[in-house]
């Protein structure tokens, strides 16, 4: 009986992971397609901002390292804190899923804009700028989201149907998961602050039409 319940729980959790991941991917596609909905003036403004950003990279004036780590870590932590609080409120569960979709939209929009601006070179540039941090941050957010939804469902069933016992242990497990994801997000902030600038200095000449410099920085 206990084994059957555990198998059901694992199956439900796996289904939720698939659902959240698909929701994120749909957001990425939607974000990439949003580029076409922008006016010509908006597209031109974004294009100018991207080229200005690349110019800062080439001139070595882009903030990096310790100058940006605290800001990036706090930015990532705020997303996680919001997910954690929404999971506690139970009624905030739909907003957790909305944040997963929004995260996908932001990633898709960034990649789509770079590809639109620089074609295949923009894709290479996105691998240096967007991919490194999100390879860590996105899984952390998706795991935190699944944990939040699972906890919210557990609380709802407990309060409405009285099917579960005290919430102390589930709350502790939920918070522990969030804390573990915070460690991953801090690692993502480290990558964004110290590794991404190095990759960008290599990739910037590519999209600027200059030969990429492979020497060490």
Model confidence pLDDT, tens digit, residues 6-58: 445 566 688 899 999 999 999 999 999 998 888 888 888 888 888 888 887 77
The predicted model gives 195-210 an average pLDDT of: 77
DSSP string across the chain: -HHHHHHHHHHHHHHHHHHHHHHHHHHHHHHHHGGGGS-HHHHHHHHHHHHHHHHHHHHT-S--THHHHHHHHHHHHHHHHHHHHHHHHSTTHHHHHHHHHHHHHHHHHHHHHHHHHHTHHHHHHHHHHTHHHHHHHHHHHHHHHHHHHHHHHHHHHHHHH--S--SHHHHHHHHHHHHHHHHHHHHHHHIIIIIHHHHHHHHHHHHTTSPPP-S--
Residue found by looking up tokens 């110290």 in the block = 194
pLDDT higher than 80, residue 107: yes
pLDDT higher than 60, residue 105: yes
pTM of the model: 0.84
Model confidence pLDDT, tens digit, residues 158-174: 776 655 556 778 899 99
Structure confidence at residue 11 (pLDDT): 67
């Amino acid at each position: 009986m206990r084994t059957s319940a555990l198998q059901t729980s694992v199956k439900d959790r796996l289904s939720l992971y698939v659902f959240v991941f698909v929701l994120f991917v749909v957001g990425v596609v939607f974000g990439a397609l949003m580029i076409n909905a922008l006016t010509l003036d908006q597209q031109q403004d974004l294009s100018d901002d991207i080229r200005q950003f690349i110019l800062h990279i080439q001139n070595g004036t882009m903030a990096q390292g310790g100058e940006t780590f605290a800001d990036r870590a706090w930015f990532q932590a705020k997303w996680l804190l919001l997910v954690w609080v929404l999971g506690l409120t139970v009624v905030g569960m739909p907003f957790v899923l909305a944040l997963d979709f929004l995260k996908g939209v932001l990633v898709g929009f960034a990649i789509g804009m770079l590809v639109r601006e620089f074609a295949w070179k923009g894709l290479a540039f996105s691998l240096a700028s967007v991919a490194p941090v999100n390879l860590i941050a996105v899984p952390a957010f998706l795991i935190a989201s699944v944990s939040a939804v699972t906890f919210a469902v557990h609380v709802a069933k407990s309060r409405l149907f009285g099917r579960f016992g005290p919430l102390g242990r589930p709350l502790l497990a939920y918070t522990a998961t969030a804390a573990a994801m915070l460690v991953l997000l801090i690692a993502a902030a480290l990558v964004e602050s110290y590794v991404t600038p190095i990759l960008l200095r290599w990739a910037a000449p590519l999209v600027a039409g200059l030969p990429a410099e492979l020497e060490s920085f």
